Amino acid sequence: MPDAEDSMNDAGARPRGRVALFVTCLVDLYRPQVGSAAAQLLEGAGYVVEVPPQGCCGQPNFNSGDREGARKIAARVIDRFAPFDYVVAPSGSCAAMLRVHYPALFPEGTDERRAAERLAEKTFELTSFLYDVAGSREVAATLDASVTYHDGCSGLRELGVSRQPRELLKSVSGIELREMNQPDACCGFGGLFCVKYPQISERITGSKVRDILATDAEYLVAGDLGCLLQMAGKLERDGHDVKAVHVAEILAGATEPGD
Amino acid sequence: METTSRQFKQLSLDALANATLQNSLDGVREIMPRIRTAALAERGDFEALCDRAQEIRDRAIRQLDTHLEEFERRVQAAGGTVHWAATGEEACQIVVQICRDVGASQLIKSKSMVTEEIELNDALEQDGFAVTETDLGEYIIQLRGEKPSHILAPSLHVTLEEVAETFVEHHDIERSAPLTDATEMLAEARSIMRDKFLQADVGITGANFLVAETGAVVIVTNEGNADLTASLPDTHIVVTGIEKAVPTLDDVGVLLRVLARSAIGERLSNYTTFVQGPRRAGEATGPENYHVVLVDNGRSKMLGTEFQDMLRCIRCSACLNHCPVYTAIGGHAYGSVYSGPMGAVLTPAFAGLPAAVHLPNASTFCGRCEAVCPVRIPLPSLLRRWRQRELNARPATDGQRIGLGLWRGLNRWPPLYNFAVRLAAIVLRSLSVPGRGGQRWIRRLPLVGAAWTDFRDLPAPTGHTFQDEWRRRKS
Residue-wise burial string across B445-455, b where 16 or more C-beta atoms lie within 10 A, e elsewhere: eeeeeebbbeb
Task: Supply the DSSP string of A162-227, one letter for each residue.
Answer: SHHHHHHHHTSBT-EE-PPSSTTS--S-TTTHHHHSHHHHHHHHHHHHHHHHHHT-SEEEES-HHH
Q: What is the pLDDT of residue B475?
A: 85
Tens of pLDDT, residue by residue over B267-282, are: 999 999 999 999 999 9
Can you tell me the mean pLDDT for A3-32? 77
> What's the CA dihedral at B202, B208, B213, B214 to 10 degrees?
-40
Q: What is the pLDDT of residue A259?
A: 41
| Domain end among A132, A153, A188 | A132
Q: Is the pLDDT of residue B314 over 60?
A: yes
Same domain, A192 and A232: yes
Using alpha carbons only, what angle is made at residue A24 by residues A22 and A28, rounded to the nearest 5 degrees?
110
> What is the sign, positive or negative, of the torsion defined by CA atoms of A119, A121, A127, A132?
negative
Q: Is the pLDDT of residue A256 over 90?
A: no
Question: How far off is chain B from A171, nearest CA to CA, in Å?
Answer: 25
Q: Is the pLDDT of residue B369 over 80?
A: yes
Q: What is the pLDDT of residue A4?
A: 41
| Element (DSSP H or E) covering residue B194 | helix B182-199
Same domain, A27 and A114: yes
**From CA A181, how far away is CA B431, in angstroms rounded?**
35
Same domain, A73 and A112: yes
Same domain, A155 and A125: no
Task: State which residue of chain B sits closest to A30, comparing Cα positions.
Answer: B461
Task: From chain B, pick out residues whose CB is under 8 angstroms from the CB of A202.
Answer: 455-456
Task: From chain B, pick out residues whose CB is under 8 angstroms from the CB of A34.
Answer: 466
Cβ of residue A253 closer than 8 Å to a chain B Cβ: no
**From CA B92, how far away is CA B85, in angstroms rounded?**
9
- Does the model's ipTM exceed the 0.85 cut? yes
Same domain, A144 and A92: no
Task: From chain B, pick out residues whose CB is under 8 angstroms from the CB of A245.
Answer: none
Question: How far off is chain A from B58, nearest CA to CA, in Å?
Answer: 21
Task: From chain B, pick out residues whose CB is under 8 angstroms from the CB of A207.
Answer: 26, 29, 324, 327-328
Can you tell me the mean pLDDT for B186-209? 96
Q: Total structural domains in chain A?
A: 2
Enumerate the β-bridge partners of residue B271: B221
Same domain, A23 and A39: yes
Q: Is B441 helix (H, G, I), strand (E, B) or coil?
A: strand
Q: What is the pLDDT of residue A12?
A: 55
Task: From chain A, pick out residues whose CB is under 8 angstroms from the CB of B13.
Answer: 199
B284 or A14, higher pLDDT: B284
Can you tell me the mean pLDDT for B17-39? 96
Question: How far off is chain A from B170, nearest CA to CA, in Å?
Answer: 35
Can you tell me the mean pLDDT for B370-397? 97
| CB spacing of B404 vs A72 below 8 angstroms | no
Provide the mean pLDDT of chain B: 96
Give the pairing of strands B217-221 and B271-275. Answer: antiparallel
Test mutation, A34, A66, A249, chain B, max B CBs within 10 A: A66
Can you tell me the mean pLDDT for B18-36? 96
Q: What is the pLDDT of residue B298?
A: 97
The single-letter DSSP state of residue A100 is I
Residue A161 lies in a domain: yes
CATH assignment at residue A126 = 3.40.50
Q: Is B150 helix (H, G, I), strand (E, B) or coil?
A: coil
**From CA A155, how far away is CA B367, in angstroms rounded?**
10
Residue type at B353 in one-letter notation: L
- Pick the closest to residue B16 from B298, B325, B329, B274 (CA basis): B329
Task: State which residue of chain B sits closest to A185, comparing Cα positions.
Answer: B324
Task: From chain B, pick out residues whose CB is under 8 angstroms from the CB of A237.
Answer: 455-457
Cβ of residue A32 closer than 8 Å to a chain B Cβ: yes
Can you tell me the mean pLDDT for A24-37? 97
Instruction: Give percent above pLDDT 90 in chain A.
Output: 92
**From CA B473, how far away is CA B468, in angstroms rounded?**
9
Q: What is the pLDDT of residue B108?
A: 98
Q: Is the pLDDT of residue B202 over 60?
A: yes
| Range name among A7-11, B42-46, B399-403 with the lowest pLDDT average | A7-11
B43-301, what's its fold?
A: Rossmann fold (3.40.50)
Enumerate the β-bridge partners of residue B291: B81, B237
A257 or B450, higher pLDDT: B450
Instruction: Give percent above pLDDT 90 in chain B.
Output: 95
Task: State which residue of chain B sits closest to A192, comparing Cα positions.
Answer: B364
Same domain, A142 and A247: yes
- Pick the closest to residue B375 from B143, B161, B55, B60 (CA basis): B55
Q: Is B151 helix (H, G, I), strand (E, B) or coil?
A: coil
Question: How far off is chain B from A73, nearest CA to CA, in Å?
Answer: 6
Q: What is the pLDDT of residue A36?
A: 97
Can you tell me the mean pLDDT for A33-44? 97
| CB spacing of A64 vs B387 below 8 angstroms | yes
Same domain, A20 and A128: yes
Same domain, A49 and A35: yes
**From CA B74, how far away is CA B84, in angstroms rounded?**
15
**From CA B264, how far away is CA B260, in angstroms rounded?**
6
Q: Is the pLDDT of residue A3 over 60?
A: no
Q: Is the pLDDT of residue B136 over 70?
A: yes
Q: Considering only the beta carbons, identify the residue of B384, B411, B451 that sits closest to A195.
A: B451
Residue B292 CB coordination number (10 Å): 24
| CB spacing of A69 vs B435 below 8 angstroms | no
Cβ of residue A160 closer than 8 Å to a chain B Cβ: no
Question: How far off is chain B from A159, nearest CA to CA, in Å?
Answer: 12
Phi then psi dihedrals of residue B45, to 5 deg: -105, 30
Q: How far is CA B412 from the centre of its chain?
A: 41
Q: Is B286 left (phi over 0), alpha (psi -120 to 50) or beta?
A: left
Same domain, A113 and A206: no
Same domain, A147 and A242: yes
**From CA B232, how far away is CA B376, in angstroms rounded?**
38
- What's the pLDDT band for B2 if we cut at 50, 70, 90? confident
- Pick the closest to residue B132 from B63, B48, B189 (CA basis): B189
The Cα-based distances of A166 to A23, A49, A152, B302, B421 in angstroms read 21, 24, 13, 43, 32
- What's the pLDDT band for B187 if we cut at 50, 70, 90? very high
| CB spacing of B391 vs A64 below 8 angstroms | yes
Give the pairing of strands A123-125 and A146-150. Answer: unpaired
CATH assignment at residue A177 = 3.40.50.11810
Q: Is the pLDDT of residue B105 over 60?
A: yes
Task: From chain A, pick out residues whose CB is under 8 angstroms from the CB of B451.
Answer: 194-196, 198
Q: Considering only the beta carbons, identify the residue of A29, A33, A257 that sits closest to B437.
A: A257
**Containing domain of residue A21, as a range?**
5-132
Residue A257 lies in a domain: no
**From CA A82, how far away is CA A116, in angstroms rounded?**
9
B169 or A10, higher pLDDT: B169
| Range name among A16-20, A197-201, B380-384, B433-437 with the lowest pLDDT average | B433-437
Question: Which residue spans of chain B are classified as CATH 3.40.50.10420?
Answer: 43-301
Residue A258 lies in a domain: no
Give the pairing of strands B245-246 and B271-275. Answer: unpaired
Task: From chain A, pick out residues whose CB is under 8 angstroms from the CB of B400.
Answer: 64
Residue type at A163 in one-letter notation: R
Q: What is the pLDDT of residue B261?
A: 96
| Domain end among A99, A132, A165 | A132
Quote the pTM value: 0.96
Same domain, A107 and A45: yes
Task: From chain B, pick out residues whose CB is under 8 angstroms from the CB of A58.
Answer: 408, 411
B226 near B110, Cβ under 8 Å? yes
B347 near B338, Cβ under 8 Å? yes
Test mutation, A76, A200, A225, A249, chain B, max B CBs within 10 A: A200
**From CA A26, how far away is CA A202, in angstroms rounded?**
20
Residue A256 lies in a domain: no
Q: What is the pLDDT of residue B1?
A: 85
Question: How far off is chain A from B340, nearest CA to CA, in Å?
Answer: 13
